[in-house]
Structure 1
Amino acid sequence: MRKILVVGAGQSGLQLALGLQSHGYEVTLMSNRTPDEIRTGRIMSTQCMFDSALRHERDLGLNFWESQAPRIEGIGVSVAGPDRQRAVDWVGRLDGYAQAVDQRVKMAGWLETFAHRGGQLVIHGAAVSDLDYFSRMYDLVVVSAGKGELVRMFDRDASRSPYTEPQRALAAVYVHGLGPRPEHPDFDAARCNLVPGVGELIVQPVLTTSGRADALFWLGLPGGPLDVFGGVRDAGRHLELTLELMERYTPWEYARAGEVEVTDVGAALAGRYTPTVRHPSARLPGGGLVLGAGDVVVANDPLTGQGANSATKCAAVYLDAILEHGEKEFDEAWMGRTFERFWQIVGPVTKWTNTMLAPPGSHVVELIGVAERLPVVANRFVNGFDDPADFEGYFYEAEKTRAYLSEVAGS
């Protein structure tokens, strides 16, 4: 029986640990918090998982909250005009629904499941010195803890990391009491509100510790008018700032927020980080090798909502690669090949997200405008959230965009 250590209890690490456990591997999982500490702590993200990512959870029988979480059946795009009204406003339908489950709910539940199934759960904030010791005891060590000194072991891949500074200041809060969009009341949709030169507001339904809620998520240009959440720890004050900015920049969203209140004292989060791709393996001081997973190796900006999706696909690729490898050594070459398998999936995600962080080209503005009157364009665009590789055919190059628009206009 092969022994594997997974460090970090997020989407990627926990899913991988549970998957390996289901195949008879002896798995040890290190988490810096207990399930109860996670469940009663602060929110960790605004994850929205799309159909192909949700299928990986279903395949492992880990979709415990699927019947409870809201079904997000579409994605809306609104663009603010200079008169504080919407210059563009449309919604596209997803081929398969998406869902958002508060990671406090999911990670706490998965941790308890791992322990209940006989996994060795170690509650300890791991340091590099710990891994130096543990690497001698395990066939493979996987690091999926996306912050701190463990991440700094992995060198930045400059060829795949165009940014050296954070591109957005992030601020999210979970609320109860948000009213529906009156123009589209018949299904749940995530809403992407674009405010040129300022930032973006994402609004999406989520299942949290107290049931159905909505996430209000500002992504502001650093140093701009949305970059006002630094040092704000109180969820109530965070919501006040969120609403003030909604009233100023997205009054159509503010109009349905008259009765909102925070879901709990831990329902707010603010911060920023630099989008970075790192090399997949790191050498410990004692000579051992560790494999990076999830946000450790690919940390894209959350603008396109791909974080949890990429993490679950990373876990799925790594699980398959480990099972296929059998009894052979998990050497540096294998780690590199395994990551490149993942990069075939996450590379298009990274390209799309980095493109969306920059001011749009005129052909992208035209595409988003045409989607308002041609549902086929709106639907294709929003399904790209599930399969970003599709953008290669019509999004990045003006010639391809205009050829596609001519094609659909004539059909």
Structure 2
Amino acid sequence: MRKILIVGAGQSGLQLALGLQAEGYEVTLMANRTADEIRSGRVMSTQCMFHTALQHERDLKLNFWEERAPRIEGLGASVAGPPTPEGPHTRAIDWVGRLDGYAQSVDQRIKMAGWMELFEQRGGQLVIHGVSVSDLDFFTQSHDLVLVAAGKGELVSLFGRDAARSPYDTPQRALAVSYVHGLGPRPEHPDYDAVRCNLVPGVGELFVMPTLTTSGRADILFWEGVPGGPVDAFQGVTDPSEHLATTLELMERFTPWEYARATKVELTDAGGTLAGRYAPTVRNPIGELPGGGLVLGVADVVVANDPITGQGSNSAAKCAASYLDSIVAHGDRPFDAAWMRDTFDRYWATAQHVTKWTNAMLAPPPEHIVELLGAAGALPPVADRIANGFNDPSDFEHFFYEPEKAAAYLASVGA
């Protein structure tokens, strides 16, 4: 029986550990917190997962919360126009596209704690301990394969930045998340749940999405602010109530149509806020240890995109599924550097589309993308196609990036 060690108990690490366990591998999982500590701790992400990523969980029979979590059937975009002397910002563009397969968001405190307990129940070895580079040197001698799925801390330094695939070297957004109860319904299409993406040019973005959290149905208010701008207002804010108050003040100023349904919200719990920032980075997938051993990076350890396109958990699930297939297909052969490179390249074939799209959305949109977003308000097929691109970002290659392709697409839909 082949022995595999996974460091990190997030979406990718746990999904991969449980998948390998089901295939008969002897898996050790190392995490820095217990399931109870995760469950009672601070929220970790927004984690809206679309159809393909959810299907990977279903394939492994890990979709324990599917019947309880809100079914997100639409995805909408609003673009704020400039404020006028008569009043605040209004929406210059507004539409909602329908998803072919519903999306869902399950608070990772619920999911990761539950998956960790399942891993142990199925006989996996769970070790609660921080891991250093020197520890990995030892583990590569005692395991057939070591995977690093912990996207923060010392271990990430093992994987050098791939400058050719990383156009940004500083954070492009300041992030602030609040989980709330009491958000009112969307005035448009209140009969089904949808993610709302509100773009305020030059300022940032506000995302609003339904979720399942530790206290039941809730909604997430997620600001992405341009660094140094008015939404970059959460540094040094440690009090959860102040965090929420700042969130609402910014909503009232820049997205009053969303603020109108948020006047009675309250935080779900004391751990229901999160703030931070990081530079989107692609890294080399193989880490070489001082003793000569090799480790393979997983998901956002090696491909960390800004959350502006909501792809973090989706990419983690897709990476875990791809790596699982590569490991099983390799049989009893050594997990050498060539295999590690091939395994990452197989995942990158999908991940490159996420990185290209995300980096494009971080920049001011060119005229043809503004025209596409505007056309979606009048042409439902365009709105639906953009919405479904969140599930399959590779489709954007065909109509989104190049003005000629965008014009040809709009002409075909208009005809």
TM > 0.5: yes
Q: Post-superposition shift, 1:294?
A: 1.0
The AA in structure 1 aligned to 2:401 is Y
Aligned position for 2:213 = 208
Residues 290-340 of structure 1, C-alpha deviation per residue, up to 9 Å, x if partnerless?
000011010000000000000000000000000010110000010000000
Q: Post-superposition shift, 1:60?
A: 0.1
From 126, 129, 135, the equivalent of 1:124 is 129
Q: Post-superposition shift, 1:149?
A: 0.8
Aligned position for 2:105 = 100
Segment drifting more, 125-134 vs 42-51: 125-134
Aligned position for 2:229 = 224
Residues 253-292 of structure 1, C-alpha deviation per residue, up to 9 Å, x if partnerless?
0000111000000000000000000111111111110000
Aligned position for 2:74 = 74
From 254, 257, 281, the equivalent of 2:286 is 281
Aligned position for 1:363 = 368
Contact 1:28–1:119 (8 Å) recurs in 2:
yes
Distance 1:296 1:347 in 2: 15
Distance 2:163 2:370 in 1: 29
Residues 84-120 of structure 1, C-alpha deviation per residue, up to 9 Å, x if partnerless?
1111111000000000000001000000000010000
SS in structure 2 at match of 1:342: helix
Distance 1:395 1:294 in 2: 25
Segment drifting more, 291-300 vs 227-236: 227-236
From 155, 163, 176, the equivalent of 2:160 is 155
Aligned position for 1:243 = 248
Contact 1:352–1:388 (8 Å) recurs in 2:
yes
Aligned position for 1:87 = 92
- 1:338 matched to 2:343? The reply is yes
SS in structure 2 at match of 1:136: helix
Distance 2:367 2:139 in 1: 53
The AA in structure 2 aligned to 1:316 is A
The AA in structure 1 aligned to 2:200 is V
Distance 1:407 1:317 in 2: 35
After TM superposition, the runs of 4+ consecutive aligned structure 1 residues lying more than 3 A away are none
Distance 1:100 1:251 in 2: 25
Distance 2:177 2:130 in 1: 25
Residues 8-58 of structure 1, C-alpha deviation per residue, up to 9 Å, x if partnerless?
000000000000000110000000000000000001001100000000000
Q: Aligned runs of 1:379-390 on 2, under 5 Å?
A: 379-390=384-395
SS in structure 1 at match of 2:30: strand
Contact 1:233–1:268 (8 Å) recurs in 2:
no
Residues 327-381 of structure 1, C-alpha deviation per residue, up to 9 Å, x if partnerless?
1000001000000000011100100000000000100000000000100000001
SS in structure 1 at match of 2:142: coil
From 99, 120, 137, the equivalent of 1:115 is 120
Aligned position for 1:408 = 413
Aligned position for 1:54 = 54
Distance 2:235 2:157 in 1: 24
Distance 2:235 2:116 in 1: 31
Aligned length: 410
Identity %: 72
Contact 1:235–1:267 (8 Å) recurs in 2:
yes
The AA in structure 1 aligned to 2:383 is A
Q: Post-superposition shift, 1:125?
A: 1.0
- 1:14 matched to 2:14? The reply is yes
Q: Aligned runs of 1:341-352 on 2, under 5 Å?
A: 341-352=346-357
The AA in structure 1 aligned to 2:255 is T
Contact 1:234–1:265 (8 Å) recurs in 2:
no
The AA in structure 1 aligned to 2:305 is N
Aligned position for 1:198 = 203
- 1:28 matched to 2:33? The reply is no
Aligned position for 1:292 = 297
Distance 1:106 1:199 in 2: 29
Aligned position for 1:262 = 267
Q: Post-superposition shift, 1:4?
A: 0.1
The AA in structure 2 aligned to 1:169 is A
The AA in structure 1 aligned to 2:219 is D
Aligned position for 1:233 = 238
From 143, 146, 151, the equivalent of 1:141 is 146
Contact 1:72–1:190 (8 Å) recurs in 2:
yes
Residues 56-79 of structure 1, C-alpha deviation per residue, up to 9 Å, x if partnerless?
000000000000000000001001
The AA in structure 1 aligned to 2:365 is P
Q: Post-superposition shift, 1:134?
A: 1.2
The AA in structure 2 aligned to 1:58 is R
Residues 101-150 of structure 1, C-alpha deviation per residue, up to 9 Å, x if partnerless?
00001000000000010000000011111111111110000000000110
Distance 1:385 1:223 in 2: 28
Segment drifting more, 189-198 vs 179-188: 179-188
Distance 2:130 2:254 in 1: 41
Aligned position for 2:5 = 5
Structure 1: gaps of 5 or more residues:
none
The AA in structure 2 aligned to 1:136 is Q
- TM-score, normalised by the number of residues in structure 2: 0.98
